[in-house]
């Protein structure tokens, strides 16, 4: 698939701070692309340059091979992390207001169905729940039928059920051959939604690829978790890669059957054993040295 948007040798310099340090990106058409990174990594600055909100100090951003311009503004949709809606308007009135801002629009009835807004159309936007507000904001980002959609931490603050409902909505939007650029602090969300991710740290991209490829590239083993009470000092001398993590022992192994046999032969109780695969959160910490911040 050809890239819908590319960034070449992108730099953003603020006084005393190099926020974006010579990065290259090529986002293929029709995928969900995740940009991840700790606070201060430069991802927000990068996204705002891609959105056309800020100009880079140097480097280029091209949309379908052309500089960002009027066509781009008509064909891009953005769901900001914090959006102030016009007060004293209903959900329906808000949709109608935004519809007037574009030459080409999706029928409001279609957006209402897509984003499940029918039950709240006549409700004041100040009186809708967090999940309902995010669905409305997504509808506003889609109102011009964009080909490229930016979602900036769209599920922050939502409860787990509302978050998963929003995931289903994002997947439905992507199935319409839309390209989505997602920023999120939820690694589970990135794994569930993104076809490709890039992890930024200190202004640079430090790792990029599909979630599955990156996990297999960085981790070729699994983790066995055994409570202290079950290990009871029986792990010494086995030559295992074990660390203490709270009241659990964690053993890394790429020879699962062999390691289990060792544990059994040495009398380790496996009744409460848990086998855990590596996650994107593990990868995030591994490549940035930082924990994920909500």
Query: What digits encode the pLDDT tens for the residues 64-73?
Result: 999 999 999 9
Three-class SS of 50-64: HCCCCCCCEEEEEEC
Q: Provide the b/e sequence for 200-231 (b: ≥16 CB within 10 Å).
A: bbebebebbeebeebbeeebeebbbebbeebb
Q: Do 26 and 79 belong to one domain?
A: yes
- 239's torsion region: left (phi>0), alpha (psi -120 to 50) or beta? left
Burial of 177 (0-12, 13-18, 19+ CB in 10 A): exposed
Per-residue pLDDT at 291? 65
Per-residue pLDDT at 216? 86
Q: What number of other Cβ atoms are within 10 A of residue 1's Cβ?
A: 9
Dist. CA 19–CA 245, nearest whole Å: 35
Q: Does residue 122 have a pLDDT over 90?
A: yes
Q: Does residue 81 have a pLDDT over 90?
A: no
Rounded percentage of the chain residues whose pLDDT exceeds 90: 67
Per-residue pLDDT at 143? 96
Rounded percentage of the chain residues whose pLDDT exceeds 70: 98
Residue 7 near residue 49 (C-beta atoms within 8 A):
yes
What CATH number has the domain bearing residue 243?
A: 3.30.70.980
Dist. CA 167–CA 271, nearest whole Å: 35
Per-residue pLDDT at 248? 87
* Least confidently predicted of 15-19, 92-96, 264-268: 264-268
Q: Do 80 and 226 belong to one domain?
A: no
Residue showing tokens 């040798």: 9
Q: Does residue 294 have a pLDDT over 60?
A: no
Is 116 a domain residue? no
Q: Do 172 and 228 belong to one domain?
A: no
Which of 197, 216, 235 marks a domain boundary? 216
Rounded mean pLDDT of 188-202?
Answer: 95
Is 186 a domain residue? yes
Residue 11 near residue 57 (C-beta atoms within 8 A):
yes
Is 92 a domain residue? no
Which tokens go with 232? 């009871």
Q: Does residue 192 have a pLDDT over 60?
A: yes
Q: Do 196 and 227 belong to one domain?
A: no
The candidate with the shortest Cα–Cα distance to 270, out of 262, 278, 282, is 262
Would you call 36 helix, strand, or coil by DSSP?
Answer: strand
Q: Do 17 and 30 belong to one domain?
A: yes
Binned at pLDDT 50, 70 and 90, residue 172 comes out as very high
Q: What number of other Cβ atoms are within 10 A of residue 254's Cβ?
A: 11
Dist. CA 281–CA 218, nearest whole Å: 12
Per-residue pLDDT at 292? 62
Structural domain harbouring 207: 3-84+147-216
What CATH number has the domain bearing residue 170?
A: 3.40.50.300
Dist. CA 200–CA 174, nearest whole Å: 24
Instruction: Confirm whether pTM is higher than 0.75.
Output: yes
């Amino acid at each position: 698939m050809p890239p819908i948007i590319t960034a070449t040798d992108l730099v953003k310099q603020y006084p005393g701070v190099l926020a974006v340090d010579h990065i290259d990106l090529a986002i293929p058409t029709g995928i969900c692309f995740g940009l991840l990174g700790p606070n201060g990594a430069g991802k927000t600055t990068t996204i705002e340059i891609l959105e056309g909100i800020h100009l880079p100090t140097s480097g280029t951003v091209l949309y379908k091979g052309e500089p960002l311009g009027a066509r781009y503004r008509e064909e891009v949709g953005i769901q900001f992390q914090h959006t102030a809606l016009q007060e004293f308007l209903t959900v329906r009135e808000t949709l109608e207001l935004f519809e007037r801002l574009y030459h080409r629009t999706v029928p409001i009835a279609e957006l209402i169905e897509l984003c499940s807004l029918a039950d709240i159309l006549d409700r004041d936007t100040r009186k809708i729940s967090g999940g309902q507000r995010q669905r409305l904001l997504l509808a506003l980002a889609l109102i011009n039928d964009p080909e490229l959609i930016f979602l900036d931490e769209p599920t922050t603050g939502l409860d787990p059920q509302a978050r998963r409902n929003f995931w289903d909505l994002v997947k439905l939007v992507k199935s319409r051959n839309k390209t989505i650029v997602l920023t999120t602090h939820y690694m589970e969300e990135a794994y569930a939604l993104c076809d490709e991710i890039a992890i930024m740290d200190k202004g640079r991209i430090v790792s990029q690829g599909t979630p599955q490829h990156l996990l297999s590239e960085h981790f070729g083993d699994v983790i066995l978790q055994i409570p202290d009470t079950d290990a009871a000092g029986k792990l010494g001398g086995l030559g295992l890669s074990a660390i203490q993590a709270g009241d659990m022992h964690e053993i890394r192994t790429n020879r699962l059957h062999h390691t289990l046999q060792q544990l059994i032969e040495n009398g380790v109780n496996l009744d409460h054993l848990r086998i855990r695969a590596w996650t994107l959160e593990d990868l995030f910490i591994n490549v940035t040295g930082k924990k994920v911040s909500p």
